[in-house]
Structure 1
């Protein structure tokens, strides 16, 4: 999961919103947006995160890749049906009402800032290669400090943050492609280790648990649908960009994971905080310079990812606040056009969740946070798949015409598998992640109640606000 190349303010997400934009994202740009958002610094830590389950982690990556492609197809269909900025939030609200829309927006917001916490932990693992972080104190200082530097960078303006994200996103592909392509020629069969290690229980249990961790790497498949208002010819482009971007990311992920498993001995990979750096050292015969360059590339690209996702973490509450489903304060922008309340709040929450999950060290913290974001992301994914299922059962295509019988069975099958996939991920996330995620999700209910009361008291529906933060009647 990486920072978006273009993460401008969301446009509200109501039906009737602008469906296309001249000079916006064309097919190539939209595909790059999806691929760039999916591939982030987290992938540099994932091989070590799943190595503890055994080489079943490679099979889990293949299963998650296929199912994520099916989920991408569902988002492509939804983008064709409702090409409006907001993605999952729009689909849930239109299909199931305002409470479902609020829960989707709330959960997506949690996913954004919690994934930032996971990203900064993975990033710190590569900082540790360059500058050893001895003890918990220095590691926490680096991770929390990086979160707030990203906040400061974003408060200075979205244009600068976007430029950082574009440059650093390009840099992350160099080490990934190097390991995924060149590394395959240096793998050794005896490095792969056992198929299962007993962690996760049975082979099926290990597959499920590893799959939940790995789903963190595919968060962002919905990017083109979320940015539909900025996509040229969205009914045509979103499907192609979503599927192509997800497929390209899946290939890089799978090949890279196989290479890392075959390059780094299993017993060392399990404890690695920088598995790709260790893999490059194996390619070049243990050269420290090669591993250092890999770590440097991961640090630079991770910094851009962190800046970009700090920006995007403020966009969902901004859009929901304009619709009257989040407090109006989230729609306020500073003199540079940044929704600064959302940026600061996301930085503070990411810092707190990082501190709460850091007791076991870098690798344990990353795994815990990745599982938490897998659960919170499953909420908008389930609502989106459920919305598509509902609309299919009403026998309507995106343009309102009846679905041809020959296609209805195929579309239903793909949608049902995508929905079942999200439930499978929740099952694999584990009790701790589900416990934390449910508490965070339920914490939004008082906010929703307050917003409904506030809107009713003012006689303005939900009390939608404009971009300046002023209350206004909601237009239906």
Structure 2
């Protein structure tokens, strides 16, 4: 057998042929998937989180929104080239080879199932407002597991159900948030905003510090690209859904934060545990804001879980088709969803939830959640690098000459934004995240070795 030279081994690989996709997501469902995955439960605490920095944090939101839109455009452009399920795994694989694709898939997959567990745990606090759980850890664990397995059941039912649930849940959470963000603007008191820079440091320092807290508000912008194989007319729809979903989410984030800043006095907002509830109470003059916000938050997080479970199944599905993830991940059920992938993320998430309610405060669960701030951004960086590779290579059938300047600008901005996201995660997250990422290398070595052995056997049998 001829051993390939290093140069040949580094050549980009061509995508493996995909099975006929089930195109069940139209523009509305794909946009809802993006919005639903971006807007989770964190939005309900964001205004209080950044209030100590002053209204400079609104400027940080604008900067982040620009970066997120650049990523949306990047994924839309890459989806035109490879309109298949797996997105952020497929792009690095095509450009740099299977190892880069595996690292991207491994990183994204670990981020997904750990984030799913964290989101399910976040539901408990809002359910406790509606139905007091009295600090009972058993009841809290049951609620968290129910919040995880109900969206998982929708995924088992198929992509059509996932799209329906995503549209309904997105409307149910988007409408009330947008109503507060718009109606609330008419009752804003400018005296409530407080100083532009309340941090005591330079404006640039306050901008960077507040941005660091908001960096991951836009995770999920890639959702339509990851599910491109289930999207109708993905060459056009993925880009449109990514941009529309990102812009709509940014609109809710920015207007909602402005409304809360203007309705709740700054001195009170800094210490608020439920800023949106305080804003609703200030707007209505009553005390039912907490209940209303809790209901919207439960719907918001449930819809977010519905979309993220689908993402957690589809990324390893694409890698498994290439022999770079265990074979069961490549199995697709009647509804078009990789059922084993759903089971895997649900079971792993359940184990983390159990760990969260049985271990002490400094648990492995908390460490893993910190790591996701790094692992979620690695596929962004690799995808931006893949686009830069195709542009530098100048392959005419892959990059349209007329759009070269635009594509190059988007790719450079996306790469810089992704790099900034990783840097903003902090030393601990980057250090632990790199270790967790490299822990996947033995998995790659084993699977790649088995794949090459099988291919060699097939060739030998064919030659005989």
Which TM-score tier does this pair reach, normalised by the shorter chain? 0.7 to 0.9
Match of 1:390 in 2: 389
Displacement, 1:219? Answer: 1.7
User: Is the alpha carbon distance of 1:136 and 1:388 closer, same or farther for their aligned partners in structure 2, counting shifts above 3 Å?
Assistant: farther
Match of 1:188 in 2: 189
User: Is the alpha carbon distance of 1:224 and 1:424 closer, same or farther for their aligned partners in structure 2, counting shifts above 3 Å?
Assistant: same
Match of 1:435 in 2: 431
Aligned length: 441
TM-score with structure 1 length normalisation? Answer: 0.80
User: Is the alpha carbon distance of 1:140 and 1:431 closer, same or farther for their aligned partners in structure 2, counting shifts above 3 Å?
Assistant: farther
Distance in 2 between residues matched to 1:183 and 1:347, nearest whole Å = 38
Match of 1:297 in 2: 296
Displacement, 1:265? Answer: 3.3
User: Is the alpha carbon distance of 1:273 and 1:311 closer, same or farther for their aligned partners in structure 2, counting shifts above 3 Å?
Assistant: farther
Secondary structure of 2:59's counterpart equals: helix
Match of 1:467 in 2: none
Distance in 2 between residues matched to 1:303 and 1:156, nearest whole Å = 15
Match of 1:57 in 2: 57
More divergent stretch after superposition (121-130 vs 373-382): 121-130
* Aligned pair partner of 1:411 in 397, 403, 407: 407
Displacement, 1:84? Answer: 2.1
Displacement, 1:35? Answer: 3.0
* 2:81 counterpart of 1:78: no
Secondary structure of 1:439's counterpart equals: helix
**Is the helix fraction higher in 1 or 2?**
2
Distance in 2 between residues matched to 1:393 and 1:164, nearest whole Å = 41
* Aligned pair partner of 1:426 in 419, 422, 440: 422
User: Is the alpha carbon distance of 1:29 and 1:155 closer, same or farther for their aligned partners in structure 2, counting shifts above 3 Å?
Assistant: closer
User: Is the alpha carbon distance of 1:145 and 1:257 closer, same or farther for their aligned partners in structure 2, counting shifts above 3 Å?
Assistant: same
Match of 1:446 in 2: 442
Deviations, residues 390-441 of structure 1 (Å, cap 9, x unaligned): 11112235x346624xx43443222111111111111111223223322321
Deviations, residues 153-187 of structure 1 (Å, cap 9, x unaligned): 35863365554444322211122112110111222
Displacement, 1:115? Answer: 2.4
More divergent stretch after superposition (449-458 vs 155-164): 155-164
Pairing 1:29-428 to 2, within 5 Å after superposition:
29-135=29-135, 137=137, 141=141, 144-150=144-150, 153=153, 157-158=157-158, 163-196=164-197, 198=199, 203-285=203-285, 287-332=286-331, 339-351=338-350, 372-397=371-396, 399-400=397-398, 403-404=401-402, 407-428=403-424
Displacement, 1:24? Answer: 4.3
Displacement, 1:210? Answer: 3.2
Are the equivalent residues in 2 in contact too, given 1:212–1:426 (CA < 8 A)?
A: no
User: Is the alpha carbon distance of 1:14 and 1:151 closer, same or farther for their aligned partners in structure 2, counting shifts above 3 Å?
Assistant: same
Deviations, residues 30-77 of structure 1 (Å, cap 9, x unaligned): 334433333333322332333344433222111100111111111121
Unaligned stretches of 5+ residues in structure 1: 1-12, 463-472
More divergent stretch after superposition (115-124 vs 129-138): 129-138
Displacement, 1:385? Answer: 0.6
Distance in 2 between residues matched to 1:381 and 1:372, nearest whole Å = 15
Secondary structure of 1:313's counterpart equals: helix
Displacement, 1:326? Answer: 0.7
Distance in 1 between residues matched to 2:205 and 2:132, nearest whole Å = 35
Distance in 2 between residues matched to 1:461 and 1:420, nearest whole Å = 44
Displacement, 1:379? Answer: 0.7
Distance in 2 between residues matched to 1:155 and 1:413, nearest whole Å = 37
Are the equivalent residues in 1 in contact too, given 2:148–2:305 (CA < 8 A)?
A: no
Distance in 1 between residues matched to 2:229 and 2:113, nearest whole Å = 23
Unaligned stretches of 5+ residues in structure 2: 1-13
Distance in 2 between residues matched to 1:137 and 1:270, nearest whole Å = 29
User: Is the alpha carbon distance of 1:196 and 1:111 closer, same or farther for their aligned partners in structure 2, counting shifts above 3 Å?
Assistant: farther
Are the equivalent residues in 1 in contact too, given 2:324–2:444 (CA < 8 A)?
A: yes
